[in-house]
Amino acid sequence: MNIKANISNILNDIDEKVQLVAVSKTKPTDYILEAYQAGQRIFGENKVQDLVEKSAVLPDDIRWHMIGHLQSNKVKYIAPFVSLIHAVDSKKLLIEINKRAKQHDRVIHCLLQIHIAQESSKFGLNEDEAIELLEMNLANVSIDGIMGMATFTDDKQQIRSEFKSLKNTFEKAKNKFHKLSILSMGMSGDYDIAIEEGSNMIRIGSSIFGSR
Ligand SMILES: *Cc1c(COP(=O)(O)O)cnc(C)c1O
Q: What pTM was estimated for this model as a whole?
A: 0.97
Distance of CA 126 from the midpoint of ligand 1 (Å):
21
pLDDT of amino acid 114: 97
Cα 146 to Cα 66: distance, rounded to the nearest angstrom: 14
What is the residue with the minimal CA distance to atom 5 of ligand 1? 205
* Percentage of the chain modeled with pLDDT above 90: 96
pLDDT of amino acid 210: 96
Beta strands at 19-23 and 63-66: parallel, antiparallel or unpaired? unpaired
Assess whether the C-beta atom of 148 lies below 6 angstroms from ligand 1: no
- Domain locations in the chain as residue ranges: 3-209
User: CB–CB of 21/44 below 8 Å?
Assistant: yes
pLDDT of amino acid 122: 65
127-178: pLDDT as tens digits: 999 999 999 999 999 999 999 999 999 999 999 999 999 999 999 999 999 9
- Ligand 1 pocket, mutate which of 3, 43, 46, 184 (most atoms under 8 A from CB): 46
Distance of CA 26 from the midpoint of ligand 1 (Å):
11
> pLDDT category, 182, cuts 50, 70, 90?
very high
Q: Residues 3-209: name the CATH superfamily.
A: Alanine racemase (3.20.20.10)
Closest listed residue to residue 162, CA positions, set 131, 188, 199: 199
Phi-psi region of 186 (alpha: psi -120 to 50; beta: other; left: phi over 0): left
What is the residue with the minimal CA distance to atom 11 of ligand 1? 203
